[in-house]
Amino acid sequence: MRYIKSQMKQLVREDVRLQQKLKQLMEEHDLEKSFALKALYHAEVADSGKYMEAYRELDDLK
């Protein structure tokens, strides 16, 4: 699976837990939103992460 910023934004918009994790990453590591999104992708989606299936479904909708 490859990182697609628009899909990741949509996934975060649809999940409150991911919204909280994104905000936490931005605050804790002083990251801009785009970098925090990519970090969140690698932590929660890539390589059989918890949200991989939801992310994959977003790709299938295109």
Give the pLDDT score at 29: 97
Cβ contacts of 57 within 8 Å, gap of 6 or more? none
Matching residue, tokens 């999940």: 15
Residue 26, number of CB atoms within 10 A of its CB:
17
Give the pLDDT score at 50: 85
Whole-structure pTM value: 0.88
Q: Are 2 and 49 in contact (CB under 8 A)?
A: no
- Domain boundaries in the chain? 5-61
Q: Give the span between the Cα atoms of 59 and 51, in whole angstroms.
A: 13
Q: What is the mean pLDDT of each run of 10 residues along the chain (62 residues)?
A: 93 97 97 97 88 89 68
Give the pLDDT score at 62: 62
Give the pLDDT score at 47: 78
Terminal-residue alpha carbon distance, the chain: 15
Residue 32: its H or E element: none
